[in-house]
């Protein structure tokens, strides 16, 4: 599920096709985030910069600046629908759960149907018209990989939440806002970055796989 475009497989100018480099980047990023969480635990704010604001800043950095950036090294997890392009290909019945349909003008209908002069009629959409063939979009295999990574992350998160709850219950810890903020930061970061980290950790180097797996030039390079 790695990006297939040459410009997206690089992070800070470094070619990240190598699995070793990706693993080092994951370890370094998580160490930085653990350090940040530890700092939040000890720190009580400084003027306008409160621990909650710092939490959002660190989350922003983890989400948009690190190797876990959406649409960066790993393809975006979201399957975006095509933008509105007029009624020719407008998927008007999708919201009514009627499958994939489009309006076809009379002149484009088969001759037998044209004679009845029905006007524009709804017709099942052509597969190629519906399918987003952009190399940025995940296909069915990649969606499966994404779901598997998300499931594993949720299990891991549930496990550490349970461990922390048991630990807090046994030790009778009292409410300590900086500590709670640090915990929330950890959980949010794991929830957001865990699936991508799993994919980046396990995905082999595309160059190690024999066959035609060369990168595709991005639309901007054409």
Partner 1 sequence: MLIHNRIPVLRAERNLSRVQLALAVGVNPQTIGFLERGNYTPSLELAFKISRFFNLPMEAVFSPDPFRPLSDQLYEMQRKEA
Q: How far is CA 126 from CA 106, 115, 130, in A?
A: 16, 23, 6
Piece of 40-48, 49-57, 153-161, 204-212 that binds partner 1 (CB under 8 A): 204-212
In the complex, the smallest distance separating the C-beta of residue 211 from partner 1, rounded to whole angstroms, is 5
**CB of 151: closest distance to partner 1 in angstroms?**
18
What track of x and - describes contact with partner 1 for positions 119 through 158 (by CB under 8 A)? --------xx--x-x-x--xxxxx----------------
99 to each of 56, 79, 106, 130, 139, how far by Cα in Å? 40, 17, 21, 11, 19
Query: In the complex with partner 1, which residue's Cβ is closer, 46 or 127?
Result: 127
Kindly give the interhelix angle for 19-42 and 51-64, rounded to the nearest 10 degrees.
Answer: 170
Report how far residue 180's alpha carbon sits from residue 170's, in angstroms, rounded to the nearest whole number: 17
Residue (144 or 161) nearer to partner 1, CB: 144
Q: In terms of CB distance, is 94 or 192 closer to partner 1?
A: 94
Interaction of residue 89 with partner 1, rule CB under 8 A: no
Structure tokens at 46: 């400084």
**Do 138 and 2 form a contact (C-beta atoms < 8 A)?**
no
Q: Rule CB under 8 A: say whether 173 interacts with partner 1.
A: no
Residue 180's CB: how many other CB atoms inside 10 A? 13
Counting residues that bind partner 1 (by CB under 8 A) gives: 17
Residue pair 200/13 in contact (Cβ under 8 Å)? The answer is no
Shortest distance, CB of residue 141 to partner 1, whole angstroms? 5
Give the single-character DSSP code of 208.
G
Among 211, 220, 221, 222, binds partner 1 (CB under 8 A): 211
Q: What's the CA gap between 137 and 100, in Å, rounded? A: 19
Q: Does 209 bind partner 1 (CB under 8 A)?
A: yes
Residues of this chain that interact with partner 1 (CB under 8 A) are 4, 127-128, 131, 133, 135, 138-142, 206, 209, 211-213, 216
């Amino acid at each position: 599920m790695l990006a297939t475009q040459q410009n997206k497989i690089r992070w800070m100018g470094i070619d990240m096709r190598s699995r070793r480099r990706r693993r080092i980047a994951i370890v370094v990023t998580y160490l930085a985030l653990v350090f940040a969480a530890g700092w939040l635990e000890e720190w009580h704010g400084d003027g306008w910069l409160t621990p909650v604001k710092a939490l959002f800043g660190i989350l922003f950095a983890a989400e948009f600046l690190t190797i876990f950036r959406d649409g960066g090294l790993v393809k975006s997890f979201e399957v975006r629908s095509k933008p509105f392009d007029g009624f020719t290909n407008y998927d008007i019945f999708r919201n009514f759960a009627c499958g994939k349909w489009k309006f076809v003008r009379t002149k484009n209908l088969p001759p037998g149907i044209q004679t009845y002069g029905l006007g524009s009629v709804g017709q099942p959409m052509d597969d190629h018209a519906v399918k987003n063939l952009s190399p940025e979009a995940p296909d069915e295999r990649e969606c499966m990989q994404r779901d598997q990574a998300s499931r594993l992350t949720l299990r891991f998160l549930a496990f550490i939440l349970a461990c922390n709850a048991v630990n807090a219950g046994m030790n009778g810890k009292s409410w300590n806002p900086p500590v709670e903020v640090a915990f929330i930061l950890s959980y949010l970061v794991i929830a957001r970055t865990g699936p991508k980290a799993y994919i980046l950790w396990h995905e082999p180097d595309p160059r190690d796989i024999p066959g035609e797996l060369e990168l595709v030039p991005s639309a901007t390079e054409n």
